[in-house]
């Protein structure tokens, strides 16, 4: 295992090696385990997502952000109890400070869950997306990409199970037939030297796996050890993958959910990135998986931030993040969740 001082760039893994020889497959699984344990981030090539589809998704994202403000506001997240839709720059909060990016959030297209007086608060999270009327091609394209990313990411998640000496289907029951599929289109406008450069503040992702499609503008940084950041520079037809808190919880901290951030580009430039997050079903509870003794010795325990605690109840964990990041939506649709008589469950202790 390399010392973090030796890590100066993200490792690169080729997913196509899963279909190679037995030796290539085993080598990939070992590299996957080490990358996820030592860094928590890696570049993924050979992912099988068509390069033309990736370009179309980027082109449509640019067209969306070029829409007039009034059209973007018409699909504003403030209209959605499911936290779907558009937010202008400085609307989302990370660690108490506004992020200098505009964004468009989407999830799986599902019917609203029927709600009863005893329904959990997170049941309101499921529901339809909002779509701009003047870009009719955006919906089918992003939903096609969402399904392609889900198929690929579930394949990678099963590879993680094998790399940890677990049955390949070990994580299947956590995502079931309704995985928490989340897409985020993001545009980071250029900032002057005097402005805040918090494109997005330092944070961990909450789900299983996160995938980022970057344009050619740098900005993503990964904290490989406390206070030391390395750049995750853009690469063509390559996805940046990182571990979410659910996998950190499920493996008692053997797999690493790593803090990362995005710095705003300089004035006169902009950065476009598109994220896909694979999470568990909202009604799932994350267990502690029985790792082999040799791996358990290297498990560090989940690193729960007192200011952003972890929950094994997936719906509560996800809702907690949404309420913190989007206080305007929280006040409009979740006033009861913010009331003192409705505290969230106890957090996992690190």
Give the integer Cα–Cα distance in Å for 320 and 165.
32
Q: Which two tokens stand for residue 42?
A: 């890696």
> What is the torsional sign of CA 247, 252, 255, 259?
positive
Residue 342 falls inside a structural domain: no
Domain-located, residue 161: yes
Question: pLDDT (tens digit, 9 = 90+) per residue, 92-135?
Answer: 888 888 999 999 999 999 999 999 999 999 999 999 999 999 99
Domain span including residue 116: 4-333
pLDDT tens figures, 183-218:
999 999 999 988 889 999 999 998 889 999 999 999
Q: Is residue 141 part of a domain?
A: yes
* Residue 159: partners with Cβ closer than 8 Å, 6 or more residues away: 15, 18, 28, 29, 32
d(CA 11, CA 265): 24
Assigned domain for 187 exists: yes
The tens digit of pLDDT for each residue in 291-320 reads 999 998 888 877 655 556 667 889 988 898
Asked if residue 248 lies in contact with residue 288, where contact means CB atoms within 8 angstroms, the answer is no
Could you give the number of structural domains in the chain?
Answer: 1
Domain assignment present for 343: no
**Contact (Cβ atoms closer than 8 angstroms) between residue 274 and residue 58:** yes
* Residue 114 located in a structural domain: yes
Q: Judge whether 99 lies within some domain.
A: yes
Question: Which CATH number fits the domain that encloses residue 144?
Answer: 2.60.120.330
Domain assignment present for 347: no
DSSP string for 175-202: HTT--EEEEEEEEEE-B-TTS--EEEEE
């Amino acid at each position: 295992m390399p010392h973090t001082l030796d890590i100066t760039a993200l490792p690169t893994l080729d997913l196509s090696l899963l279909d190679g020889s037995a030796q290539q497959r085993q080598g990939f699984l070992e590299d996957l385990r080490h990358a996820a344990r030592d860094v928590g981030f890696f570049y993924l090539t050979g992912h099988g997502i068509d390069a033309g589809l990736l370009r179309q998704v980027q082109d449509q994202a640019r067209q969306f952000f070029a829409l007039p403000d009034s059209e973007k506001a018409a699909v504003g997240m403030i209209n959605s109890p499911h936290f779907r839709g558009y937010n202008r720059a400085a609307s989302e909060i990370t660690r108490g400070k506004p992020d200098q990016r505009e964004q468009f959030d989407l999830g799986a297209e599902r019917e609203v869950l029927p709600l009863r007086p005893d329904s959990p608060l997170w049941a309101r999270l499921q529901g339809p997306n909002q779509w701009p009327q003047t870009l009719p091609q955006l919906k089918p394209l992003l939903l096609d990409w969402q399904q392609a990313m889900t198929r690929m990411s579930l394949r990678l998640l099963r590879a993680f199970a094998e790399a940890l000496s677990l049955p390949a289907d070990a994580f299947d029951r956590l995502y079931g037939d309704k995985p928490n599929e989340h897409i985020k289109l993001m545009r980071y406008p250029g900032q002057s030297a005097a402005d805040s450069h918090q494109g997005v503040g330092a944070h961990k992702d909450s789900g299983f796996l996160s995938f980022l499609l970057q344009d050619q503008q740098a900005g993503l940084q990964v904290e490989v050890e406390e206070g030391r950041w390395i750049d995750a520079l853009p690469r063509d037809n390559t996805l940046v993958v990182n571990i979410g808190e659910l996998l950190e919880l499920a493996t008692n901290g053997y797999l690493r959910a790593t803090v990362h951030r995005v710095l705003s580009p300089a004035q006169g430039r902009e950065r476009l990135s598109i994220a896909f997050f694979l999470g568990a079903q909202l009604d799932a509870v994350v267990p502690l998986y029985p790792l082999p003794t040799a791996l358990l010795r290297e498990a560090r325990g989940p690193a729960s931030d007192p200011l952003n605690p972890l929950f094994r109840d997936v719906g509560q964990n996800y809702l907690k993040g949404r309420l913190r990041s989007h206080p305007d939506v929280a006040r409009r649709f979740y006033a009861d969740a913010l009331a003192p008589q409705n505290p969230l469950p106890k957090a996992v202790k690190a």
